[in-house]
A and B are shown apart, each in its own frame.
Chain A
Amino acid sequence: MIHRPVTRRRLLAGAAAACGASLIPARAHARGSVTAAMYPGTWEEAYRTHVAPALKKAHDVDLEMTPLFAVDQIAKAQAARGAPPFDAFVLDPGPRVTAIERGLFERFDAKRLAALAQLPKDATDEWGVTVAAQVVGIAYNPKKVPRPKAWTDLLKDPWVSRLGMTGFQTTYGTVSIIEISRQLGGSETNVEPFFTEIRKVLPKIAAIGAPASMPSLFQQGQCDITYTNTQTVATLRGRDVDVEFVTPESGAVAFFTTMHIAKGSRAADNAYKYFDTVVSAPVQAALMQPPNNLIPVNRGVKLAAGLPMTSLDEMASFVRHDWSKINPLRAGWIERFNKEVAK
Chain B
Amino acid sequence: MTAPAAAGALGVPRRPGGAGPWAEWQLALPLALAYAAFFLVPLLLLIAISAFDDETLTTVGFAQWRKFLGDPFYWKVILDTVKLGFYTVVATTLIGYPIALVYLGAGPRWQRVILFVVILPLLTSVVVRTFAWIVILGREGVINQAVLWLGLAPAPLRLLQTEHGLVMALTQIEMPLLLLPLLSVMSRVDPNLADASAALGASRWRTLFRVTLPLSLPGLLAGCMLVFASSTTAFISQFTIGGNRLVYLPLLIWQQSLVVYNWPLASVAALTLLVSVSLGVVAIAAIGRRAQAYAS
Residues of A within 8 A of B (CB): 5, 7-9, 69, 71-72, 74-75, 78, 98, 166-169, 206-210, 212-213, 216-217, 220-222, 330-331, 334, 337-339, 341-343
Q: Is the CB of B245 within 8 A of A338?
A: no
The answer to whether B261 touches A74 (Cβ under 8 A) is yes
Residue of B nearest to A221 (CB): B140
Whether A341 pairs with B134 at a CB distance below 8 angstroms is no
B1 touches A343 (CB 8 A): no
8 Å CB contact of A334 from B73, B134, B135, B260: B260
Is the CB–CB distance between B161 and A208 below 8 Å? yes
CB pair B244–A331 under 8 Å, yes or no, is no
Question: Inside 8 A of A331's CB, which chain B residues have their CB?
Answer: 260, 262
State whether B261 touches A342 (Cβ < 8 A): no
Contacts of A341 in B (CB 8 A): 244-245
User: Does B138 interact with chain A (Cβ within 8 Å)?
Assistant: yes
- Residues of chain A within 8 A (CB-CB) of B141 are 220
CB distance from A137 to the nearest CB of B (A): 21
Contact A208 B138 (CB under 8 A): no
**Chain B interface SS verdict (over half):** loop
Chain B residue at minimal CB-CB distance from A6: B9
B138 x A342 contact (CB < 8 A): no
Stretch of B32-40, B169-177, B251-259, B279-287 at the chain-chain interface: B251-259
Question: With the chains together, A334 CA to B257 CA distance in Å?
Answer: 13
Q: Which residues of A contact B240 (CB under 8 A)?
A: 209-210, 212-213
Whether the pair B245, A75 counts as a contact (CB closer than 8 A) is no
Evaluate contact between B255 and A334: CB separation under 8 angstroms.
yes
- Does the CB pair A210–B243 fall under 8 Å? yes
Whether B245 and A330, one on each chain, are in contact in the complex, defined by CB atoms closer than 8 angstroms, is no
Q: How far is the CB of B14 from chain A (nearest CB, A)?
A: 15
Chain A positions within 8 Å of B258 at CB level:
69, 71-72, 75
CA gap between A35 and B262 in the complex, in Å: 27
Q: Which residues of A contact B245 (CB under 8 A)?
A: 208, 341-343
Distance from A73 Cβ to chain B, minimum over Cβ atoms (Å): 10
User: Is B201 engaged at the interface, CB distance under 8 Å to the other chain?
Assistant: no
Complex Cα gap A69–B254 (Å): 13
B139–A338 CB distance below 8 A: no
Give chain B residues whose Cβ lies under 8 Å from the Cβ of A207.
160-161, 243
User: CB within 8 Å of A: which of B135-170?
Assistant: 135, 138-141, 160-161, 163
**How far is the CB of A286 from the nearest CB of chain B, in Å?**
29
Measured between alpha carbons, how far is A207 from B240 in the docked complex, in Å?
11
4 new A-B contacts, CB < 8 A, other than A209-B244, A331-B260, are: A210-B239, A210-B244, A213-B243, A334-B259
